[in-house]
Amino acid sequence: MRSDMRTAQVRGSLPRHCHFSSRPLVCQRRAGIARAAAAAVTPAVDSASASNREQSKQALLDLVKFTNRGLGVRTFQRGLIEEAQVQVERFQGEDLDYSKLAGKWKLLYTTASDVLPILEAEYWLSPGPFGQFGIPRPLEVGNIYQRFTSPEEGVVENIINFKTPATSLTFTVGARYDVRSGKRIALVFENARVGELQISEAAEALIAPALLPRGSLQHMILLALREFQLKFNFRTAAQLASQAVTRRDNIAAGYLLSYLDEDMLIGRAIGLGGTFVFVREV
């Protein structure tokens, strides 16, 4: 009787397919070995997944490397980049880890209709073949960034660096953001500023020649230029259109963050459309 009870207890702790086995203890050992093997395989699977993710990210980075941030990319190449981007996005879970969002992100590639015209302006103002004669570009678009604070603070800045033969400056658009879902945030653009003006040596020499004594006027001009900062309210075209209809000033723009990890951020603008590929600025 006791032997039958022990056998029943053993069978009760076994997988269903072992209940009808004539050798329950042997089946139990096999089940234990199978569980141990599965536990040993799990880290290997995770390692392979991490390796595949890094390979997919590198493939995307290789494709966008020489695209001048998306300017002039042909349809076929754009399709390849889109496929590589989707491949990376597949590794993103259902929800983002928003604790990784804070920081400064450098733009590598975009299809956004409100960013590409800025890059096109540099192209059309280029001296072209006359550049070989030393003619400087009248406008150069430097690095473009997005800088996020923590979700609790909820501030994002779009930063564009410009350079001319005489000066360099930074154009910054500030917005508030809040988290709306596991992958979506809402942006409300509020203000813009132009600042961080730096004068070239040639421009400074023109204002205050080194061979002549500098008077108070030259010092005042140089100081005013270096401390120059212009601030003004800023609204996107979508905000202005919505404001005209709804009479509301805080219309939010949707922004889907389709991938986020320690060193890569991929976003998709909702409404106007366009994708963005960023890497974290170290």
Question: In whole angstroms, what is the distance from residue 68 CA to residue 118 CA?
Answer: 12
* Torsion sign across C-alpha atoms 178, 282, 167, 214: positive
From first to last of its 282 residues, the chain has per-residue pLDDT tens of: 444 444 444 444 444 444 444 455 545 555 554 554 444 434 444 666 888 999 999 999 999 999 999 998 999 999 999 999 999 999 999 999 999 999 999 999 999 998 999 999 888 887 665 566 667 788 899 999 999 999 999 999 999 999 988 888 999 999 999 999 999 999 999 999 998 888 776 666 666 665 455 566 766 776 776 777 889 888 776 666 666 666 666 678 899 999 999 999 999 998 778 999 999 998
CB 224 within 8 A of CB 239: no
Sort 141 into a burial class: Cβ within 10 Å, 0-12 / 13-18 / 19+: buried
Question: In whole angstroms, what is the distance from residue 272 CA to residue 146 CA?
Answer: 18
Domain residue ranges of the chain, discontinuous segments joined by +: 44-280
Question: In whole angstroms, what is the distance from residue 187 CA to residue 128 CA?
Answer: 38
Question: In whole angstroms, what is the distance from residue 87 CA to residue 62 CA?
Answer: 14
**261 in helix, strand or coil?**
coil
